[in-house]
Structure 1
Amino acid sequence: MVDTTPLTQAVDHFADRLRAAPQSRLQRGAAAEALALARELARWAQRVEEPGSEPREMPDAGMFAVADQILVAAHDVSLVLRSEDEVAEAVRLVEEARARASV
C-alpha cells in the first residue's frame, strides 16, 4: 500500500483555503478551479476502477460545496494510487489548481 499522506495534506490545505475564501474569490474562479480538480481526480479513479467504461462527470454542486467535492474525489483516487510517483502527480495537480485558484 502506498502512503497517500502528502495527497491528503495537500487536499486538506486546499479545502481549508476554499472554506475560508470570501464568496467574491470563489466567484472569480477559485470554485471553478476546485471543481475542475475534483472532476479530474474523479475521472482518474474511475479509469482505474472501471477500465474501458466512460467516466461519469462529477456534478457542479455549487461554489460552497467544492471543498467537499475535492476531498471526496481525492479520497477516491487515493484508494487506487499504486506508486509514490502517482501520489506525487496527484499532489502536483492539487498544488497547481490551488495556485490557479489563488487561495
Structure 2
Amino acid sequence: MLDTTPLLDAADHFAAALRAAPQSRLQRGAAAEGLALARELARRAQHVETPGREPRTMPDAGVFVVADQVQVAGRDLAEALRTRPDAEGEAVTEAVSLIKAAHRRAFP
C-alpha cells in the first residue's frame, strides 16, 4: 500500500500556517494561494477516483475556510491514492512539491 504520510503532513502543515495567519495576510494572497492549491489537489483526487470524468471545481468559501479546504483536499487525494492499487509514489512526491511551493508563495 502506498505511503501517503508525506502528503498528509505537508497539507496539515500548510493548513496550520493558514489558520495562524492574520486576516490581512490571508487577504494579501495567502488565501488565494491556498484555494488554488486546494482546487488542484481536489482535481487530482477526482481524476484518480473517476478518470475521464470532468472534475468539479472547489468553490471559494472565503479566506477563513481555505485552511480547511487545503486539509480536506489533501486528505481526499491521499485516500484516493492510497486505495488505488496502481498508484505510484511519484504522485505523492508531486503533490508534496505542489504544497510546499504554494506554502513558499503564500508565506515568503
Q: Please indicate the TM-score interval, normalised by the length of the shorter structure.
A: over 0.9
Q: Which amino acid aligns with 1:43?
A: R
> Higher mean Cα deviation, 80-89 or 33-42?
80-89
Query: How far apart are residue 80 of structure 1 and its match?
Result: 2.2
Match for 2:37: what amino acid? L
Q: Which amino acid aligns with 1:99?
A: R
Q: Percent identity?
A: 65
TM-score scaled by length of structure 2: 0.91
2:94 is aligned to 89
Q: Partner residue of 2:9?
A: 9
Match for residue 41 of structure 2?
41
Partner of 1:65: 65
Q: Deviations over 1:53-72 (max 9, x none)?
A: 11100001100000000111
The count of corresponding residues between Structure 1 and Structure 2 is: 103
Unaligned runs of 5+ in 1: none
**Cα distance, 1:13 vs. partner?**
0.8
Tell me how far apart the structure 1 counterparts of residues 56 and 47 of structure 2 sit (CA, whole Å): 10
Counterpart for residue 105 of structure 2 = 100
| Partner SS for 2:80 | coil
- Calculate the TM-score normalised by the size of structure 1: 0.95
Show structure 1 runs of 4+ deviating over 3 A. none
